[in-house]
Amino acid sequence: MTTIAQVTDGIYRIDVGPVKAAKTNDHLQYSLVYFIVSDGETAIVDAGPAVVSPAVLEAIRGLGYDPARLSNIILTHIHLDHAGGAGTLAQQLPKAKAIVHQRGASHIINPDKLIEGTRQAYGQKFEADYGPILPVPEKQVRAVADGDIVRLGRRELKIIYTPGHAPHHVSVYDPQSQGIFSGDSLGFLNTGNNAVIIVPGFNLDYALESIDRIAALNPKHVFAAHGTADREPGEFIQSVRNTTKDYGDIILEATKAGETEEKMAERLLKYHQERNPDDPRTTLHRFDDIIPPYVAFFKRKGVA
């Protein structure tokens, strides 16, 4: 069931909620979509996968706005759960511009490589759960770089380059609300201690630098792509940085010692339990996807 919440003046959070997978009992969590209104102009930050596009359009209508007048589809990055629906929306909304970092632009115009990478990550039949990845017409794509401005009425949204999670990842700073649309650069906004979202190709140095760039803005709001906890932004950002770095320290030490991934997971679980004693997530498997990208990063860097 889709829920809509106004998070600050002119900014709404659209949450389609968990959706049951087509062939399993798993419940899939998609990226939150943010709808921005300024002086009669409208935009969204992240699109979610194509399967949620109808719900996003209906939510915009429910707020009293015509989706056909949408100015921008701003993508923090091009991963499936954030941007899989960009082509679907763009083809239905020909006036909307897809705003994406210059390193991701070609892949939403011609998504062949993106589709292949998605199949490797999500399985050959990912479309059953997430919908198709359709191309965004080239004339509707605006490639941006660090420091660029996306104007929406009197709002001037600033592009902040925040790689680490992905080399084409950006965050979006809104000076009017002093809020940051963080995509996956700060991980999940929930209680306890969490690292950034770790995926293959992860770069720890870039991730920490990205967190520091966001912290330097001293935002009053964090509009995260996942999670909706009410946390003080400065404390949350510092917590994410600490956990992300500490995970790296633990994994690097264990890698140098020649430990197995299972032993590394035991170390991480102990670390997490000490800082989050009330967290019910006690399985070692939660670290299965975290450890290999860290190890690969340290090996690329030549320190392990």
Phi then psi for 28, rounded to 5 degrees?
A: -90, 135
In whole angstroms, what is the distance from residue 164 CA to residue 84 CA?
Answer: 20
pLDDT, mean of residues 283-302: 91
The CB density around residue 121, as the number of other CB atoms within 10 Å, is: 12
Domain around 170: 3-245
pLDDT digit string (tens) for 48-84?
999 999 999 999 999 999 999 999 999 999 999 999 9
Residue 192 has pLDDT above 90, yes or no: no
**Which tokens in the block code for residue 29?**
């969590």
| Greatest mean pLDDT among 20-34, 43-57, 179-193 | 43-57
What percent of the chain has pLDDT above 70? 96
What's the rounded Cα separation, in Å, for the pair 298 and 247? 12
Residue range 198-241, pLDDT digits in tens: 999 999 999 999 999 999 999 999 999 998 888 999 999 999 99
The residue with greater pLDDT, 52 or 193, is: 52
Q: Does residue 183 surpass a pLDDT of 80?
A: yes
pLDDT, mean of residues 42-50: 97
d(CA 105, CA 98) in angstroms, rounded, equals 9
What does the mean pLDDT of the chain come to? 93
Tens digit of each residue's pLDDT (9 = 90 or more) over 93-110: 999 999 999 999 999 999
CATH code for position 213: 3.60.15.10
pLDDT for the residue numbered 259: 96
Spell out the residues 6+ positions from residue 31 whose beta carbon is closer than 8 angstroms to its own. 46, 48, 81, 82, 225, 226
Q: What is the pTM of this model?
A: 0.94
- Provide the residue type at 78 as one letter: I
Domain count across the chain: 1
Please choose, from the candidates 136, 134, 133, the residue with its C-alpha nearest in 3D space to the C-alpha of residue 73. Answer: 136
- 262-283 pLDDT tens trace: 999 999 999 988 888 877 766 7
For residue 193, the model assigns a pLDDT of: 83
> What is the model's pLDDT at position 194?
86
pLDDT for the residue 271 = 92
Residue 196 lies in a domain: yes
Is residue 36 a part of any domain in this protein?
A: yes
Q: Token digits for 290?
A: 């975290």
Can you tell me the mean pLDDT for 140-158?
97
Domain-embedded: residue 173: yes
Q: How confident is the model at residue 112 (pLDDT cuts 50, 70, 90)?
A: very high
Q: What is the mean pLDDT of residues 154-173?
A: 96
